[in-house]
Amino acid sequence: MGMGTSDNQPGPLESYNLFTADPVLPDAVRREGGNIDLLEAFGHEVGREETREWGRLANRNVPILHTHDQFGSRIDEVEYHPAYHSILNMAVEAGIHCMRYEQPAGDGAYVTRNALMGLITQIEMGHGCPTSMTSAAVVSLRHQPELAEVWEPLVVTRKYEHRLSPPDQKSGVLLGMGMTEKQGGSDVRANTSTASPVNGGGPGGEYRLEGHKWFTSAPMCDAFLVLAYAPRGMSCFLVPRVLPDGSRNSLRFLRLKDKLGNRSNASAELEFDDTAAWMVGEEGRGIPTIIEMVHGTRLDVANWGVSLMRQAISQAGWHVAHRDAFGSTLIDKPLMQNVLADLEIEVEAATLMITRLSGAHERMDIDERERSFARLATPVAKYWLTKQSNPVVREALECVGGNGYVEDSIMPRLYREAPLNAIWEGSGNVIALDIGRAAARNPESVEAFLDELERSRGRDATIDEQLDVLRRDLSVPGSESDARRVVEKMAIVWAATLMVEHGDPVVSDAYLMSRVAGDHGSLFGTLPGACDLAAISRRSVPV
């Protein structure tokens, strides 16, 4: 790691191991059965200066849309900077997009994969979109076995090929998704795209699409799962970029979005113009079919919220540990310790939540209780962790000060990324309402979630009180206007139980005093003085 300079500049946080430097992640992964040796090696690779430079270059040199070639032929291609391909190749070679399918459920592959994703997205988040969608798409694609037979073997490889070719001429593919349309947004039932059958259509059959998609990220994926109205209702379709005969499918890219953040990852508006597509699953059951893909990507965006928090706090911890002001190092100042400690306990709780949830997803195909727990815990984590990353990253940026506000620093990029995860795969209101519906339709999920929390009964009186309140809240249907309040309680009490079970006692005590007992202000840096601020703040400094 870099050393401070003689003019009191801390210098950059240079090469370090992102996995071993995390004070809670290794133990959390070990509890859930992940591969520690693999993660330690990967943490070293993604922490190298070269990898970090790929992240910077990929976001400085944004994708470029080419609708036509020099001869006027329609090509609809997106050009990426080589750095983007380099970091996406690293993710694919690590198996982030396919590891969960390479080993039997329960062997720890999904836990390991999610931790790998959390490490590499600290350095560059945009490339995570195609790896996430590819990983999640297989579950939905399996609803149509003859299509899965063609595409799944090409997903479950560790070869990255960004050239456009028919799938049988590639050693590896990536898959995307297109759901939202301009007139409906999250209300996909308001979609207007239509699908007309060819030679009878039906599950696995060919259709022709007409319509549009308002927001399709990673548009150079090899194929997409999309929604459109077939004669018998909303259905799911596989739309390849290149057809079996080698010709380009008629997916028309209108423009790329000029986004606040996530700039390395192209997001396109596209139109269907007699576009070839194949039905996945039952006709009229498109939303239940594609929602299984959405569940997987929701876990990932929650994970990205945690990765942004950890990287932002690492940058802040490094800075204040190597910067002097007013007669001593900043990290020795009690008020700075309060701010940094407050941020650190937030990200440690978040890390415990996302890793426990990864373990539930790991075992949900072999353990019905874990499936029931994950059904409710996934949207709770998605809601809470993606939203908490916003104030955490902002406060961490303030710790770095003016140097964190200039583009030479990674902090502006982290700050621009932070709001996105709460929007993608369901905004806050959508998620909160989904949780309410899931609780009403699946009472076994409520019981599984509460049973998980009840394991900590008797460890702390304030947790016990909040558990009783939460159980009452979830026992009766609440009003829509209260949905966010209930979800927030679920998240905080869940985090508190994880902290008392697995957290460092000093950090756990601070979490309970501030988040559960309420001895805390409205902003970070307002922990009670009884907390061991010096010890907790030091945990944020990468070593």
Query: What is the CATH number for 540?
Result: 1.20.140.10
Residue with tokens 């997803």: 361
Q: What is the pLDDT of residue 194?
A: 97
d(CA 280, CA 234): 11
Q: Which of 253, 284, 315 is where one domain is finished?
A: 284
- Say whether both 277 and 306 belong to one domain: no
The domain of 347 spans 286-543
Do the Cβ atoms of 287 and 112 come closer than 8 Å?
no
In this prediction, residue 5 has a pLDDT band, given cuts at 50, 70 and 90, of low
Report d(CA 376, CA 438) in Å as an integer: 7
What share of the chain has pLDDT > 90, as a percent?
92
pLDDT number for residue 73: 93
Residue 215 has pLDDT above 60, yes or no: yes
222 and 293 both lie in a single domain = no
Instruction: Classify residue 174 by its DSSP letter.
Output: -
**Is residue 389 domain-shared with residue 537, that is, in the same domain?**
yes
Q: What's residue 6's pLDDT? A: 59
Q: Yes or no: say if 119 and 157 are a contact pair by the CB < 8 Å rule.
A: no
Alpha helices in 142-280 (DSSP H): 145-155
DSSP codes of every residue in 374-392: HHHHHHHHHHHHHHHHHHH
| 388 and 341 housed in the same domain | yes
pLDDT for 273-319, tens place per residue?
999 999 999 999 999 999 989 989 999 999 999 999 999 999 999 99
Q: How much is the pLDDT for 1? A: 43
Residue 105 lies in a domain: no
Last residue of a domain, one of 284, 315, 345: 284
pLDDT at 4 over 80: no
Q: Hey, which residues does 540 pair with through a beta bridge?
A: none
pLDDT value of position 187 = 86
* Dist. CA 186–CA 180, nearest whole Å: 6
pLDDT given at position 3: 47
* Residue 312 shares a structural domain with residue 388: yes
Per residue, the 3-state secondary structure of 317-352, as one string, reads: HHHHHCCEECCEEHHHCHHHHHHHHHHHHHHHHHHH
Residue 185 binned pLDDT confidence (cut-offs 50, 70, 90): confident
Residues 451-466: tens digit of each pLDDT: 999 999 999 999 999 9
CB 28 within 8 A of CB 351: yes
Has residue 493 been placed in a domain?
A: yes
For residue 332, is pLDDT > 60? yes
* 34 within domain boundaries: no
Q: Is residue 140 part of a domain?
A: no
What tens digit of pLDDT does each residue of 349-406 get? 999 999 999 999 999 999 999 999 999 999 999 999 999 999 999 999 999 999 999 9
In which residue are the tokens 């697995």 written? 502
**Spatial distance between the Cα atoms of 450 and 100, rounded to a whole number of angstroms:** 27
d(CA 349, CA 389): 12
C-beta separation of 525 from 395 below 8 A: yes
User: What's the rounded mean pLDDT across residues 523-527?
Assistant: 98
What's the full length of the chain, in residues? 543
φ, ψ of residue 220 to 5 degrees: the values are -95, 15
- 139 within domain boundaries: no
pLDDT, one tens digit per residue, over 228-284 is 999 999 999 999 999 989 999 999 999 999 999 999 999 999 999 999 999 999 999
CB 344 within 8 A of CB 507: yes
Last residue of a domain, one of 238, 269, 284: 284
Residue 2 scores a pLDDT above 70: no
Are residue 239 and residue 310 in the same domain, yes or no?
Answer: no
Taking 90 as the threshold, does the pLDDT of residue 475 lie above it?
Answer: no
Q: Are residues 351 and 277 in the same domain?
A: no
Clarify whether residues 487 and 367 are in a common domain. Answer: yes
Question: Which two three-digit tokens encode residue 243?
Answer: 């057809």
Do 373 and 358 touch, CB atoms closer than 8 A?
no
Q: Which pLDDT does position 498 carry in this prediction?
A: 98
Mean pLDDT, residues 461-474:
95
Q: How many helices (H) and strands (E) are present in the chain, helices listed first? A: 19, 11
What are the residues facing 208 on neighbouring strands? 196, 276
Same domain, 270 and 190: yes
Determine what percent of the chain is predicted with pLDDT higher than 70: 99
- Mean pLDDT value of segment 17-35: 98
Number of domains in the chain: 2
How far apart are the C-alpha atoms of 28 and 40, rounded to whole Å? Answer: 14
For residues 40 and 26, what is the distance between their CA atoms, to the nearest angstrom?
Answer: 9
| 172 pLDDT tier (thresholds 50, 70, 90) | very high
pTM above 0.85, yes or no: yes
pLDDT at 518: 96
Residue 531 resides in a domain: yes
Mean pLDDT, residues 123-129: 97
CATH code, domain with 252:
2.40.110.20
Spatial separation of the C-alpha atoms in residues 196 and 208, rounded to whole Å? 5
For position 504, what pLDDT does the model report?
Answer: 98
Helix (H, G, I), strand (E, B) or coil at 241: coil
Q: Does residue 304 form part of some domain?
A: yes
Q: Do 272 and 297 share a structural domain?
A: no
Are 260 and 346 in the same domain?
no
Residue 97 lies in a domain: no
Q: Rg of the chain over CA atoms, in angstroms?
A: 23
Q: Return the closest-CA partner of residue 268 out of 130, 161, 89.
A: 130
Give the CA dihedral 511, 512, 514, 519, nearest 10 degrees.
-160
Residues 232 and 299 in one domain: no
Three-class secondary structure of residue 273 per DSSP: strand
Q: Report helix, strand or coil for 164.
A: coil
